[in-house]
Structure 1
Amino acid sequence: MFGKEEEKIIQKFSKIDHNNYKENILSIIGNWKINNKNSYDYLILHEAFNWKRLAVKIIDYFRFDESLNTKLINWIFNPHLYATFSENKFRELIGFEKYNAHLSYFYGVTIERCLIAYSEEELLKRQISYGNFVRYTPEDVYSQIYNITYNKLIDDFFSEFKITTKKISELEFEKFTYWCFKKRVDNSEPSKLASDTKKGTMFLYKFMDSENKRLYSNRSTRKKNIDFVF
């Protein structure tokens, strides 16, 4: 699964227990050698770093007991922006370069998906306000954001990356989202770019607030200002 160099890095931080699992997994990631010229399923278009996908691969390499494995998986899939650490600590653990690549994923995939969800919500509100006489489709969202139809976007994406199947995987959809983000950055006026990014961020924090209330509604002390990400 991994080469000798990767296994050496893993062994360096292999003493993982219930107390240090976060730091050790992120330290492994921080020491992981990534060549931007190579293709990795956790480095979208050689730029956007999905650290959780790499973390899952590393966790799968170990044979943890059920209790620790459950704790690790819950941590990975718990929607925190900085893996429950402060931004500075997270950056220190994974390294500056990977941190910047993580931000590329955050803005290029997470926020971009939030922008799409925000726009879908706005079109639905407009449809309802018109008494459902005017109906919008999910494809209309892409036209609104990118000034290109969804079919044109997906056809161009398939053509550029030589994808022949009509079924798109989660990884390919991540690539498509990040590719759309890059097109939006290249083709948008600065004011519209900032406005759209703000809309996506607003949607994310709305989701964060909802999750915060859901997770802590039954506790006597509510934890505030949790950084969530999809």
Structure 2
Amino acid sequence: MSSSAGDTQAIEHLKEAIAAGKHWYLALLEAIKLWTSPEEDYKGRHYRYLIDNEAFDWLVLAERLCEEVDGLIPENELIALLFFDRPPIELTKDEFRELVGKAKYQAYLNYLYGVLVEQILLLAIAEEVRKRKRALGLVKDGGVIDEAYRRIYGATQQELIARFRKEKHYPKRKSMSLTEVNEFTYWLFKQRLKGSDKSCVASDTQKALVKLHHYMGLKNHKVS
């Protein structure tokens, strides 16, 4: 069961809108606008939709809501959305913002820049490190990730994870769940904003956006 009246309203709206003939994707975005819980436990799984009360992972909520209308959504369209972030209907940024609401849209942008773009930045820097090593005749990739972390954040991955968990009062574990990885990435993003000058932050972000556009070449909408 959902933990708030807003969540219940969101689920009811989704079911009723689809039953009335509205396209499931539009109904889903409207339901997302109504949803209120930042996280919940449902069917043995913990869902966290809002990271650090700021960054909204809307596809996790989309997955959760779509479970409520299982069988009513074309499987190929659902897979394309949840696994490849390819919606069945292309909307403008303004249309998307209107459907999910201004607050959730802003939180989505926080997630976009603070998690997705930050992950792409790390990949871009790691690629630069790897190319430089190969240019020097070093074919092994050992240490590439840690060097990328040092270049961006000034410490190794494990050192940063230890600091993150200490700050968040999380227990030490050998592995990280996807939820914790995303939270860690958002924490890294905020550390970078605090520890770098504005021009460096802007340059790194632009580098990551260029790489993100490359990875999302099949998509036509512009990230902003």
When normalised by structure 2's length, the TM-score is 0.85
Partner of residue 42, structure 2: none
Partner of residue 30, structure 2: 27
Deviation by residue 1:56-101 (Cα, 9 ceiling, x = unmatched):
1111122324x62442232233334997311000000000000000
- Taking the aligned partners of 1:47 and 1:40, their CA distance within structure 2 comes to 15
Amino acid at match of 1:225: N
8 Å contact from structure 1 (residues 108, 178) kept in 2: yes
8 Å contact from structure 2 (residues 122, 149) kept in 1: yes
Please state how far the C-alpha of 1:191 moved relative to its aligned partner: 0.6
More contact order relative to length (CA 8 Å, sep ≥ 6): 1
Please state how far the C-alpha of 1:136 moved relative to its aligned partner: 4.0
Q: Is 2:129 the partner of 1:123?
A: yes
Partner of residue 188, structure 1: 196
8 Å contact from structure 1 (residues 83, 90) kept in 2: no
Closer, same or farther: CA 83–46 of 1 in aligned 2, 3 Å: farther
Please state how far the C-alpha of 1:16 moved relative to its aligned partner: 1.5
Q: Is 2:3 the partner of 1:8?
A: no
Amino acid at match of 1:16: I
- Taking the aligned partners of 1:170 and 1:83, their CA distance within structure 2 comes to 27
Closer, same or farther: CA 83–32 of 1 in aligned 2, 3 Å: farther
- Taking the aligned partners of 1:141 and 1:23, their CA distance within structure 2 comes to 40
8 Å contact from structure 1 (residues 123, 136) kept in 2: no
The count of aligned residue pairs is 213
- State, as a whole percentage, how many aligned pairs show the same letter: 32
Closer, same or farther: CA 62–3 of 1 in aligned 2, 3 Å: farther
8 Å contact from structure 2 (residues 9, 34) kept in 1: no
Q: CA RMSD in A?
A: 2.7
Alignment of 1:143-162 (within 5 A): 143-162=150-169
When normalised by structure 1's length, the TM-score is 0.83
Deviation by residue 1:130-184 (Cα, 9 ceiling, x = unmatched):
0117964311111000122222211101111222222111100000000000000
Residue ranges of structure 1 left out of the alignment (5+ in a row)? 213-223
8 Å contact from structure 2 (residues 13, 27) kept in 1: no
- Taking the aligned partners of 1:171 and 1:83, their CA distance within structure 2 comes to 28
Amino acid at match of 2:18: I
Deviation by residue 1:84-133 (Cα, 9 ceiling, x = unmatched):
31100000000000000000000000000000000010001001110117
Residue ranges of structure 2 left out of the alignment (5+ in a row)? 40-45
